[in-house]
Structure 1
Amino acid sequence: MAVTPLDADSFRTLLRRQAATVTVVTAPGSPPVGFTATSFTSVSLRPPLVSFCLDRGSSSWPTVERAGHVAVHLLGEEQHEVARTFATSGIDRFAAHRGWRWGPYGVPLLDSPVAWLVCRVTQRVAAGDHAIVLAEPVQGQHAGGGAPLIYHMGRYASLTSPPEEQAAA
């Protein structure tokens, strides 16, 4: 049996079946940048390390490539619009979303996420058309027991309202 490599569309269709938490990563700059990411994960407890991935062709990459610190915001189930705003290209995301303030190290902090982490970037690893960014959390806060926003099958959902089954595109 011959095995054929997956093309990008088939790969994307398969991975849509993996549920992921939705985060917004922000970085200081003039102007600051922010983007929606579902690739956030914890990497290590000793030392504490997290990672996220970013397309090196994205408008946010030049700022993240130079940033010493970033903030990762774990969005709550009611924050669909925040996720959409920071996923929209070609707009000033911070003008469109006014609920933010300057935080430690000049990193923009969004209002009302389930939790946020300010992280020191420790490494950037090229991986295909993306970069894996490794970062050490240096500060953080959580808002209590809020349910996370989930991304599954191309839709935002929550743990209390799973996404409806959709046909693969």
Structure 2
Amino acid sequence: MHIKEEAIERHTLAVIVDNEPGILARIAGMFTARGYNISSLTVSEITDDDLVSRITIVTSASAPVMEQIIAQLDRLVPVHKVTDLSTAGEHVERELALVKVAGVGDHRIEALRLAEVYRARVVDATISSFVFEVTGGTEKIDKFLELMREVGLVEVARTGVVAIARGKEAA
């Protein structure tokens, strides 16, 4: 008997919730309790009155498990809507990273050259280091970090993925 394994795919979820204490902990707890991993999590208020927030979650799962995750999120009382942007159509994803690089001489010159190629902005500089701000897709940031390791990467702070569907409709 041959058992077909389901493909594990990356999914980006947009979860619209009431902005109330504990909702993020409840959502993270739901993932933890069921053994699902969250690879990126961002939260921001999205209404003028600060009563509604948008949580963007990046996770990996098979299609049946993803259906289960979405159904479980939908059952949480303060959740208004869950959209799997990965399957709902085209969407835009971006991330921001602050990248500290130390170096002098040729390493300093190379760090600046690479930053220009990746459109990273210098947001702080000393005689022996830079802090770059780089935005883009996760793959772009990963590649920038890989290259900066060669010239003196010291520290990284990343925001996590934010995403929005293309077109005129709201998630």
Which interval holds the TM-score relative to the shorter structure?
Answer: under 0.3
Task: Mark the structure with the bigger radius of gyration.
Answer: 2
TM-score by length of 2: 0.27
Structure with greater helix percent: 2
TM-score by length of 1: 0.27
